[in-house]
Chain A
Amino acid sequence: MSDETAVLDPVDLPTDPAPDTPRQVVRRRSLQDLLFVHSVRGAGLLVLVVTGSIGVFLGISSVPTLQHYGLSYFTEFRWIPSQDVIGISGALIGTVEVALLALCFAIPLSLLTALFITDWAPARLRPTLVLLVDMMAAVPGIIFGLWVLFLIQPHAAHVAHWLSTYFGWIPFFHVRTDVDYPIWNQLPGYPSYAGSAFIAAIAVTMMIFPMATSVMREVFGQAPVGEKEAALALGATRWAMVRTVVLPFGRSGVIGGTMLALGRALGETISVVLVLQLSFERKPYVLENGNATISATIAAFFKEADAAQLSALLTAGFVLFGMTLLVNSIAAGIVSRSRGSDVTDL
């Protein structure tokens, strides 16, 4: 455009250009188009109504509970419907404990794996690794639950015993049992150490690892090649290049991927239900047997719930949904800011 105007001699320009009047564009949709637009709009509105009604329904259903229990619903930790004592603070704390522990395991692994895929692995191995991570995302949660229950829990209980023996003075690693009691004398399955938030978090780790890894890998993969090569040409080692170019560039991807994983970890149900021993307490002892998450509470109590309890469970679901929604929105904001509108489809 600019080239053409530059070539034009000013003398050639008409001295008094007629004012530009835009041609009237008639946008008459054909019958086919009208049908198309209206049917997809109908589908969109239906989806809007269906999905929106879930949120509205959860909100409305939680009104009676909140009226009945008031603020004590959020401060009470026991869940004894027969005595009309119901509160979610125990389950809420348990949910956060399991999710944060899972993040502690998954995020370093995801970060290192994503870096390995983008910057360390040989180029011809890369598609296979990406495929494997995506494949892992498709493995059902119940299978990871079985895996933890059968294969991991015996070893993890050993680790928990060791940690509580030597680091029991740290509140998180404390287990309210006789830690000096030799582990080979204990009942099979180490009942004091099995079914803890720590072991449930291992199952959740396997669920959130692929998602966090693929978000981080995508962002790391977009790090400017020129700057990477410039760093290497200046004599940087591979780690120095990653530290100075890839990590600063991908920081929002790391944060966004972590938040997305957190959103998923908060709502993860079946692998937690399978592993966790349900008990309603407010405790920081993540290595100790027994804890509760909101999703496990719903799964455990929905069957024998009467109307009031069901409302309490729906309120718990509403609180959980509020948490995941908040975390996901923040994550989506961070991730989309880092790379435009190309949002990941997870």
Chain B
Amino acid sequence: MTATLPERQRRRADLRRVGGPVPPVEPEVVRPTGARTREDVYTLAGAAAASLATTWIFYAQVFPFSGAIGFTVCWYAVFVGYYALLTSLAHPRPVVVDRVVATAVIGAPTLVGVALASVVVMTLLKGLPALTHLTFFTQDMSGVQPDADFDSGGIVHAIIGTLIEVAIAIGIALPLGVATAVYMSEVGGRTARLVRTVVEAMTALPSIVAGLFIYTIFLVRFGFPASGLVAGLALAVMALPIMARAAYVVLGVVPGGLREASYALGATQWQTVWRVVLPTARPGLATALILGIARAVGETAPVLLTSGASTFTNVNPFKDPMNSLPLFIYTAITSGVPQQAGRAYGAAAVLLVLVLTLFVVARLVAGGRKSR
């Protein structure tokens, strides 16, 4: 019988103390438990090759079928059949079921991964003709015919518009959202519970309804013209409940012991919140808020109703329509002009890069924290 590890360590320590010869350490080898046997690999490879061949013969040669989707679906079905058959030659039923399920469990994420990759690749590839022209980033569309070449016209007005509108939205939603979250989680009380209920209910508000609300109030009732400010307000109304709720969830994770320790040291409530709770929650808070910003940047429906699609650069949010990236994409792709569609894909690539950059920043701010 071999000695257990602590026992061996104790024995070695004893030997060292009495000055005796210390035996060399036997390295512990972890036995690989999940390893595939050669039979597993051959079964898999055989089923894959056989199903490919069968599908090719019957799908493309014998029957008059065509189409990549049909081929892939048939191949997958035949593969599962062959794999189950080959496995059942050497294994009992539970193992066969396990392997059939495994093909689905591995197939589904693969399908989604391929779809996601094709989204990114398609956006970048289709946007490339427009993106390779420097004017795309330096000019706006004022005085440019929609069917003009990529040599003239660009999306600088949409980029500036997105930045201004999102800045307005965040300037409103972020402080209010965080303050509300602090109120709900740190102050509490019956009113706070009411606020929480309403805020949570409002996270269900579809973005188009938020846009319609602002549109009706400001543009129709008060007669304001379409402008960047109104679009920013619409985005703020959409983002406010989302940010407040996300921040509330993050603040709820701060251990109560930290607060109690702070109070026990004589700190006031403000000091506790400012010096203990918020710094502790900072990474999570930053992540939640940046993700909220990313959501606001990519949201089309509210700005569609409120900002008006300008062709010129407008840096004044109080006057005149102001375009933004999602709205530019929408109007350009629905215009039906091929050059505008090319610009739409270019703008989509810019938007995608912008949003993913925000996402990466959010992750970096969160630091080495384990992803939730």
Please tell me if the beta carbons of B269 and A329 are within 8 angstroms of each other in the complex.
no
Q: How far is the CA of A276 from the CA of B345 in the complex (A)?
A: 19
A230 within 8 A of B: no
Q: How far is the CA of A57 from the CA of B205 in the complex (A)?
A: 13
B64-98 vs A, Cβ < 8 Å mask (1 yes, 0 no): 00011110000000000000000000000011011
Q: What residues of B have a CB within 8 angstroms of the CB of A302 in the complex?
A: 212, 215, 305
Provided the pairs A143-B119, A158-B69 are in contact, do residues A150 and B126 lie with their beta carbons within 8 angstroms? yes
Provided the pairs A120-B102, A345-B245 are in contact, do residues A47 and B195 lie with their beta carbons within 8 angstroms? yes
Please tell me if the beta carbons of A30 and B268 are within 8 angstroms of each other in the complex.
yes
B166 within 8 A of A: no
Q: What residues of A have a CB within 8 angstroms of the CB of B237 in the complex?
A: 50-51, 54
Please tell me if the beta carbons of A320 and B201 are within 8 angstroms of each other in the complex.
no
Please tell me if the beta carbons of B101 and A239 are within 8 angstroms of each other in the complex.
yes
Provided the pairs A274-B333, A341-B252 are in contact, do residues A267 and B179 lie with their beta carbons within 8 angstroms? no
Provided the pairs A47-B180, A142-B298, A310-B216 are in contact, do residues A120 and B200 lie with their beta carbons within 8 angstroms? no
Closest-CB distance, A332 to chain B (whole angstroms): 7
Provided the pairs A113-B109, A143-B348, A143-B351 are in contact, do residues A44 and B273 lie with their beta carbons within 8 angstroms? no
Minimum CB distance partner of B108 in chain A: A112
A-B contact count (CB 8 A): 273
Q: How far is the CA of A117 from the CA of B179 in the complex (A)?
A: 36
A274-289 vs B, Cβ < 8 Å mask (1 yes, 0 no): 1000000000000000
Please tell me if the beta carbons of B176 and A43 are within 8 angstroms of each other in the complex.
yes
Interface residues on B, range: 35 or more
Interface pick from A63-71, A131-139, A190-198, A250-258: A131-139
Please tell me if the beta carbons of B183 and A237 are within 8 angstroms of each other in the complex.
no
B34-74 vs A, Cβ < 8 Å mask (1 yes, 0 no): 00000000000000000000000000000000011110000
B210 within 8 A of A: yes
B261 within 8 A of A: no
Provided the pairs A131-B363, A263-B204 are in contact, do residues A209 and B295 lie with their beta carbons within 8 angstroms? no
Please tell me if the beta carbons of B269 and A44 are within 8 angstroms of each other in the complex.
no
A103 within 8 A of B: no
Q: What residues of B have a CB within 8 angstroms of the CB of A41 in the complex?
A: 183, 187, 191
**Which of A44, A117, A218, A270 meets B372, CB within 8 Å?**
A218
Q: How far is the CA of A274 from the CA of B301 in the complex (A)?
A: 11
Provided the pairs A120-B102, A310-B220 are in contact, do residues A109 and B111 lie with their beta carbons within 8 angstroms? yes
A45 within 8 A of B: yes
Q: How far is the CA of A109 from the CA of B111 in the complex (A)?
A: 9
Interface residues of A in 137-155 (CB under 8 A from B): 137-144, 146-147, 149-151, 155
Please tell me if the beta carbons of B359 and A144 are within 8 angstroms of each other in the complex.
no
Q: How far is the CA of A127 from the CA of B371 in the complex (A)?
A: 7
Minimum CB distance partner of B220 in chain A: A310
Please tell me if the beta carbons of A146 and B345 are within 8 angstroms of each other in the complex.
yes
Interface residues of A in 32-61 (CB under 8 A from B): 32-33, 35-37, 39-41, 43-48, 50-52, 54-55, 57-58, 61
Please tell me if the beta carbons of B305 and A239 are within 8 angstroms of each other in the complex.
no
Closest-CB distance, B182 to chain A (whole angstroms): 5
Closest-CB distance, A188 to chain B (whole angstroms): 14
A290 within 8 A of B: no
**Which of B69, B204, B329 meets A328, CB within 8 Å?**
B204
Please tell me if the beta carbons of A267 and B206 are within 8 angstroms of each other in the complex.
yes
A101-133 vs B, Cβ < 8 Å mask (1 yes, 0 no): 000000011001101110010000001011110
Closest-CB distance, A160 to chain B (whole angstroms): 11
Q: How far is the CA of A325 from the CA of B192 in the complex (A)?
A: 20
Please tell me if the beta carbons of B105 and A115 are within 8 angstroms of each other in the complex.
yes
Q: How far is the CA of A57 from the CA of B295 in the complex (A)?
A: 25
Q: What residues of A have a CB within 8 angstroms of the CB of B358 in the complex?
A: 138
Provided the pairs A134-B359, A155-B68 are in contact, do residues A120 and B108 lie with their beta carbons within 8 angstroms? no
Q: What residues of B have a CB within 8 angstroms of the CB of A43 in the complex?
A: 175-176, 179-180, 183
**Which of B123, B194, B269, B297 meets A33, CB within 8 Å?**
B269
Provided the pairs A48-B195, A269-B206 are in contact, do residues A239 and B298 lie with their beta carbons within 8 angstroms? no
Q: What residues of B have a CB within 8 angstroms of the CB of A274 in the complex?
A: 330, 333-334
Provided the pairs A238-B102, A320-B206 are in contact, do residues A57 and B94 lie with their beta carbons within 8 angstroms? no
Please tell me if the beta carbons of A32 and B268 are within 8 angstroms of each other in the complex.
yes
Q: How far is the CA of A126 from the CA of B67 in the complex (A)?
A: 34
**Which of A129, A151, A295, A327 meets B109, CB within 8 Å?**
A129
B277-304 vs A, Cβ < 8 Å mask (1 yes, 0 no): 0000000000010010011011111001
Please tell me if the beta carbons of B104 and A321 are within 8 angstroms of each other in the complex.
no
Please tell me if the beta carbons of B97 and A237 are within 8 angstroms of each other in the complex.
yes
Minimum CB distance partner of B300 in chain A: A270
Q: How far is the CA of A57 from the CA of B363 in the complex (A)?
A: 38
Q: How far is the CA of A50 from the CA of B199 in the complex (A)?
A: 10
A175 within 8 A of B: no
Report the 3 A-B pairs with minimum CB-CB distance, sorted nearest first: A140-B298, A267-B206, A43-B179
A130-B371, A269-B300 given. 16 additional CB < 8 A pairs? A40-B179, A45-B195, A46-B176, A54-B210, A57-B216, A139-B119, A140-B355, A141-B298, A146-B123, A162-B70, A238-B98, A267-B208, A269-B206, A274-B330, A318-B209, A327-B204
| Interface, chain B (partner A; CB < 8 A) | 67-70, 94-95, 97-98, 101-102, 104-109, 111-113, 115-116, 118-119, 122-123, 126, 175-177, 179-180, 182-184, 186-187, 191-192, 194-195, 198-210, 212-213, 215-217, 220, 237, 240-241, 244-246, 249-250, 252-253, 268-271, 273, 288, 291, 294-295, 297-301, 304-305, 326, 329-330, 333-334, 344-345, 348, 351-352, 355-356, 358-359, 363, 370-372
Query: Could you name 13 residue pairs across A and B whose Cβ atoms are closer than 8 Å?
Result: A43-B179, A45-B195, A54-B202, A109-B108, A109-B111, A120-B106, A138-B295, A140-B297, A146-B344, A146-B345, A158-B70, A209-B112, A269-B301
